[in-house]
Amino acid sequence: MTHDKGCCGSVCQCFFEYATPKILVIRSKKVGTVNRVIQAVIIAYVIGYVCILKRGYQDTDSVISSVTTKVKGIALTNTSDLGLRVWDVADYVIPPQEESSFFVLTNLIITPNQTQSRCPEEIVVRMTLSVVQVPSLNSNCSSDSDCTPGLKDVRGNGVQTGKCVNYSDSVKTCEVLAWCPLEVDRDPPNPPMLADAENFTALIKNNIRYPKFNFNKRNILPHINKTYLTHCIFNATTDPDCPIFSLKYIVSTAQEDFQTMAVHGGVMGIQIRWDCDLDMPANWCKPRYTFRRLDNKDPENNVAPGYNFRFAKYYKTANDVEIRTLIKGFGIRFDVMVFGKAGKFSIVPMLLNIGAGLALLGLVTIVCDWVVLTFMKKRHQYKAEKFSYVDDFGLLSEAAE
Amino acid sequence: MTHDKGCCGSVCQCFFEYATPKILVIRSKKVGTVNRVIQAVIIAYVIGYVCILKRGYQDTDSVISSVTTKVKGIALTNTSDLGLRVWDVADYVIPPQEESSFFVLTNLIITPNQTQSRCPEEIVVRMTLSVVQVPSLNSNCSSDSDCTPGLKDVRGNGVQTGKCVNYSDSVKTCEVLAWCPLEVDRDPPNPPMLADAENFTALIKNNIRYPKFNFNKRNILPHINKTYLTHCIFNATTDPDCPIFSLKYIVSTAQEDFQTMAVHGGVMGIQIRWDCDLDMPANWCKPRYTFRRLDNKDPENNVAPGYNFRFAKYYKTANDVEIRTLIKGFGIRFDVMVFGKAGKFSIVPMLLNIGAGLALLGLVTIVCDWVVLTFMKKRHQYKAEKFSYVDDFGLLSEAAE
Amino acid sequence: MTHDKGCCGSVCQCFFEYATPKILVIRSKKVGTVNRVIQAVIIAYVIGYVCILKRGYQDTDSVISSVTTKVKGIALTNTSDLGLRVWDVADYVIPPQEESSFFVLTNLIITPNQTQSRCPEEIVVRMTLSVVQVPSLNSNCSSDSDCTPGLKDVRGNGVQTGKCVNYSDSVKTCEVLAWCPLEVDRDPPNPPMLADAENFTALIKNNIRYPKFNFNKRNILPHINKTYLTHCIFNATTDPDCPIFSLKYIVSTAQEDFQTMAVHGGVMGIQIRWDCDLDMPANWCKPRYTFRRLDNKDPENNVAPGYNFRFAKYYKTANDVEIRTLIKGFGIRFDVMVFGKAGKFSIVPMLLNIGAGLALLGLVTIVCDWVVLTFMKKRHQYKAEKFSYVDDFGLLSEAAE
């Protein structure tokens, strides 16, 4: 084997060379078994778990979503303030449209006919429903000197004018400039005023997109026809594809009681999971609906429990004075949360996983060599066969050889 | 080669050892070619596809976005109900501001001067525009016994009082407690009332952030000056950087007709894709706008087609009675959907891909060994050169040797 | 070593074989050191950087979030138009509830008592606050022929009737059908009307979920009790867990001046980062709050700076004419942006990284072989020991041998 030829021939020869490691084959039940078992485990893991179960051969993408909702239902209330009153969707959905959530009014405290004027401040004895007694604004006074003109306490209802006026026959409080009469800080009615809200239904339309795979889908599936849609109500077992939900069903599926929740309001999550294997037929890709309460009902570790907000309807009287009806609205906000991952075959993650799997097979040699060279009886023979030595030590060479 | 020295010397010697596999070089055109071709394919794949095309050397992050919008334009309507009327942005954008979408009213059915009172229920002959005739609420009656006091049908307009009253000279229906007069369930005007809406423009400001790379950018690019911004209108080919969009352009780019869509409303997606290679200059990172219709216009597999919602304006009469104007507003909701991935050089994914690529090179040996030991004429010679055998079989040893 | 046995025996024998590469051990300080150093670097990288620092053994998931907010505070304004007026939450938060943002009105231009009628168009001398003078709508006219009936200019306030009427004693402009009197296009008041808004507080409740790990958490942490919550105000150093924020603190932390920003409005991002290592105790997973201005205050590269929108309150007069109060509201929109990644131990990414690490160790052999066969004095000896050759060349064989 001499290599004395021209440059071209040398390169050619080099190109056509194939270098393969020399192998020592050890025929041994013990080592052979260890070898095959570890090999089998790694191959089973790579093929079975990574490729099949975890679909390691797929590239993934996250969902982009658009949601529209439509609530239906009528509620009847009968109170001393308002008399007999019917509430329809324009009354109880506030604001009338939102991006991916909707709010249904279930309870309210109304303060009608407020005008910008002066009135005695409320005797505030508590902060929003706190069980623990916290230092609250003391608006009681005995003379004008107890009141600070211009004081805007965050817990108060207005700006103090500096006067001390009669709140009742026996009590005096500081006068405030505010929307008067002031809202009374009382507990919301129980049972809730719009108890009928549990019978309302919500139609949820959801359009998703996986941009990487240019895949769009709607939650109203192609096999569903119009007749079915006008009648169906979602039920996880009997009607899992119907996009019309009973509010009571949503709340009760999340282990909550609608009437209890309706008193102070709350936040419900309507979770739509789109986990799609795009290597499979497109109609296997279906939304899964789950429901979860998002706010905290634990009274200890909480401030402002439930969900409420204040809004007003503004009117003008005949003599051009602006009046408003202040409404503290309690209700359930339904947040539609869409998430999911789509996977589709892609060469990069597949080869990445196969490459890593092949590399893991290198572990077999490490483990088995250790077994062979440590535990086998004939280990010195194996060592002599497996290893050759060349020495190139300066200092150690004499000692070593 | 004897190893009988002190412990320290042995460790030293071990430390300075370098173990390299013994190699059998086969000089063969056939195997050499197979070897080099497979090597070339794998290296080309790792460098060309994974590293350059897929940018496997980059760490990625998903976009966080904030959107504000501003619509401009004026529409004129002329109807028998309202007379000649001008609509400006405060009239047709409902609610006045939203997080990342905006709604433009294009058509409406107005029911003015509703009060809480009693009136005969509508004769409902159809469910929201359904082509298929579905069983609908039968509110016809001949005597009071046909009406159920307190019945709140989800398809009705109010709560039945139990009386049967004249709807017209010939027809009697159950009386309901509701906002009367009832809304007439009729088709929306065609052509749409605010047909002028197609000339409205929307300014979309989008601020994005890639938190992992601490990279912020706006869709109003730095090279764009104010003069340009006050005049430009987005056009995918001539003005791809202008953030001001004509509503008609958005709809027509998505292959839809504005006037047709305006009748029943709909949902349009304004998709902003921010795909940024942060190893490149920052001004290469630009938004790409695409438009897509998000709702389903297929009438067969649909319920409540288009997009509409009901809202009301509340008034008080001189004698303190609350009246409202109910508006069933049809319109186009524009959802601004921002997505994208940013990539930036990172050592971990690069070495991960290189590691997996090196491991894949191990495949070459497997394939070539199989070729050598199966197809080559001299395969027995190669086998003898490549493999050495040591036996350690208990049972099989006699038979084997 | 003969293999002439039955098929079963052959398979058995093959099963119990263990193939291990033959190794040439070179004892050399130089190569040994190179070998060990590269090995150490790779192992340190895989274990130290990938596994410990980057937590490569973890599977990750992105956050899903729900946000509710509640603003508190009272503002006092004193203007010639409105007189002394108190503003509470129902007045200045518009719309009253949103999904994950809230808008606080800080400044406004009011145009009261507009009706649908005819009035002379404004002399528009500028486009929204532009420094650069841009060609603006010329509504001046000398006779009816200068005005186009039906013209709806996007910059105008209404639809031209075609008449030329007196705007003032000296100037005539085209008459428009519009909500009259027209809004005056003037700069917003400075200082802002609701300067008190800086003292408002916002309670932000945030509920997150990592769906892959079925992990939920709230930003009101379990160790926080009610008494603390009723008193605390967020401060990055002293109260980093308090979910109640002063608006002034948010703005000033983002290096902005509240009063300056309040004049023209703006958009603030409240960024909540949830980076959770779910292999650690759950209470280590805490939100981190940061604040950032999202809109562009640079006047050069900007159109419609700040943040404002128009909305109207609708009234009816005694003789049933609809009037409205148009409000151009300037204010700060606070966008709550929730993001983050959770990691949890998972076998797939760990073995992927270990596999890639092992494969990288293959680099050691490549580098060291190159050193050994190129730079060492005894390189010919090593070459002879390491490589064996078998030739199978047709054409080249004579020349080569």
Query: How do residues C307-321 score in pLDDT, each as one tens digit?
Result: 999 999 998 888 888
Q: Which pLDDT band holds residue B132 (cuts at 50, 70, 90)?
A: very low
Phi, psi (rounded to 5 degrees) for A311: -145, 165
* Residues pairing with A75 in the sheet: A87
pLDDT > 80? residue C252: yes
Reading the block at residue C322, the tokens are: 């609809």
pLDDT > 70? residue B164: yes
pLDDT > 50? residue C133: no
Q: Is C386 annotated as a binding residue?
A: no
Percent residues over pLDDT 90 in chain A: 41
Of the candidates C78, C94, C110, the one whose C-alpha atom is nearest the C-alpha of residue C307 is C94
Q: Which pLDDT band holds residue A7 (cuts at 50, 70, 90)?
A: low
pLDDT > 60? residue B398: no
How far apart, in whole angstroms, are the C-alpha atoms of residue C181 and residue B92? 19
Calculate mean pLDDT across residues B377-381: 82
- For residues B400 and A27, is the Cβ–Cβ distance under 8 A? yes
- For residues C73 and C194, is the Cβ–Cβ distance under 8 A? no
Q: Which of C32, C309, C369 has its CB closest to that of B15? A: C32
Range from A363-367, B97-101, C40-44 carrying the lowest mean pLDDT: A363-367
Identify the residue among C226, C248, C395 best suited for mutation to test binding to A, counting A beta carbons within 10 A and taking the highest: C226
What global pTM score does this model have?
A: 0.89
Reading the block at residue A331, the tokens are: 């209700």
Query: How do residues B253-265 score in pLDDT, each as one tens digit?
Result: 999 999 999 999 9
Residue A58, CB-side half-sphere exposure with 13 Å CA sphere: 19
pLDDT > 70? residue B129: no
How far apart, in whole angstroms, are the C-alpha atoms of residue C38 and residue C267? 52
How far apart, in whole angstroms, are the C-alpha atoms of residue A7 and residue A16? 14
Q: What is the pLDDT of residue C333?
A: 95
Q: Which residue of B has its CA nearest to A377?
A: B392
pLDDT > 70? residue B126: no
- For residues A50 and A355, is the Cβ–Cβ distance under 8 A? no
Reading the block at residue B354, the tokens are: 């290189």
Calculate mean pLDDT across residues C123-149: 63
Q: H-type helices in C45-104, by residue range?
A: 89-92
Higher pLDDT, C112 or B135: C112
pLDDT > 80? residue A381: yes
Residue B32, CB-side half-sphere exposure with 13 Å CA sphere: 17
Which chains border A (3 or more CB–CB pairs < 8 Å)?
B, C
pLDDT > 70? residue C134: no
Tell me which amino acid residue B33 is. Answer: T
Q: What is the pLDDT of residue C397?
A: 41
Question: How many CB atoms lie under 10 A from the CB of residue A131?
Answer: 10
pLDDT > 80? residue A224: yes
Query: How do residues C209-244 score in pLDDT, each as one tens digit?
Result: 999 999 999 998 888 887 888 888 999 999 999 999
Q: Is A309 annotated as a binding residue?
A: yes
Query: How do residues A57-69 score in pLDDT, each as one tens digit?
Result: 899 999 999 999 9
Contacts of C392 in chain B (CB under 8 A): 26-31, 376, 378
Contacts of C180 in chain B (CB under 8 A): none
What's the Rg (C-alpha) of chain B?
Answer: 38
Contacts of B154 in chain A (CB under 8 A): 72-74, 199, 201
C227 with A368: Cβ contact below 8 A: no
Average pLDDT, chain A: 85
Q: What is the pLDDT of residue A289?
A: 96
Q: Is B79 annotated as a binding residue?
A: no
Higher pLDDT, C337 or B187: C337
How far apart, in whole angstroms, are the C-alpha atoms of residue A305 and residue A297? 7
Could you give the C-alpha distances from C360 to A366, C14, C25, in angstroms and in order? 15, 30, 20
pLDDT > 90? residue C22: no
Q: What is the pLDDT of residue B8?
A: 66
Residue A398, CB-side half-sphere exposure with 13 Å CA sphere: 1
Average pLDDT, chain C: 85
What lies within 8 Å, CB to CB, of A199 at 6+ separation is A73, A246, A247, A248, B152, B154
Q: What is the pLDDT of residue B101?
A: 93
Q: Is B214 annotated as a binding residue?
A: no
- For residues B270 and B336, is the Cβ–Cβ distance under 8 A? yes
Q: What is the pLDDT of residue C338?
A: 94
Return the percent helix, strand and coil in chain A, to nearest 5: 30, 35, 35
What lies within 8 Å, CB to CB, of B196 at 6+ separation is B73, B74, B75, B76, C152
Contacts of A66 in chain B (CB under 8 A): 267, 269, 294, 335, 337
pLDDT > 60? residue C125: no
Q: Which residue of A has its CA nearest to B296?
A: A218
Of the candidates A85, C118, A181, A80, the one whose C-alpha atom is nearest the C-alpha of residue B314 is A85
Q: Which pLDDT band holds residue B21 (cuts at 50, 70, 90)?
A: confident
pLDDT > 90? residue B356: no
Q: What is the pLDDT of residue A124?
A: 59
Look up residue C122 and give its DSSP letter: P
Query: How do residues C155-179 score in pLDDT, each as one tens digit?
Result: 778 888 888 998 888 888 889 999 9
Q: Which pLDDT band holds residue A3 (cuts at 50, 70, 90)?
A: very low
Give exposure, A151-175, as e/b (b: 16+ Cβ within 10 Å): ebbebbbbbbbebbbebeeeebbbb
Identify the residue among B18, B347, B401 best suited for mutation to test binding to C, counting C beta carbons within 10 A and taking the highest: B18
Phi, psi (rounded to 5 degrees) for C27: -100, 100
pLDDT > 50? residue B2: no
pLDDT > 90? residue B303: no
Of the candidates B159, B222, A155, A73, the one whose C-alpha atom is nearest the C-alpha of residue C302 is B222
Percent residues over pLDDT 90 in chain C: 41
Return the percent helix, strand and coil in chain B, to nearest 5: 30, 35, 35
pLDDT > 60? residue A133: no
How far apart, in whole angstroms, are the C-alpha atoms of residue A47 and residue A56? 9
Q: Tell the burial category of C283 from Cβ atoms under 10 Å away from its Cβ (0-12, 13-18, 19+).
A: exposed
**CA of C318, closest CA in chain B: separation in Å?**
6
pLDDT > 90? residue C107: yes
Count of all residues that appear for chain B in the document: 401
pLDDT > 70? residue B137: no
pLDDT > 50? residue B31: yes
Q: Is the peptide bond before B95 cis (omega within 30 degrees of 0)?
A: yes
Count of all residues that appear for chain A in the document: 401
Q: What is the pLDDT of residue A137?
A: 56
Q: Which pLDDT band holds residue A393 (cuts at 50, 70, 90)?
A: low
Query: How do residues B261-285 score in pLDDT, each as one tens digit?
Result: 999 999 999 999 999 999 999 888 9
CA angle A188, B310, A200 (to 5 degrees): 50
Look up residue C327 and give its DSSP letter: E
Q: What is the pLDDT of residue C8?
A: 66
Of the candidates A133, C224, C365, A239, the one whose C-alpha atom is nearest the C-alpha of residue B18 is C365
How far apart, in whole angstroms, are the C-alpha atoms of residue B263 and residue B261? 6
Higher pLDDT, C33 or C3: C33
- For residues B254 and B191, is the Cβ–Cβ distance under 8 A? no
Q: What is the pLDDT of residue C393?
A: 57
A22 with C21: Cβ contact below 8 A: yes
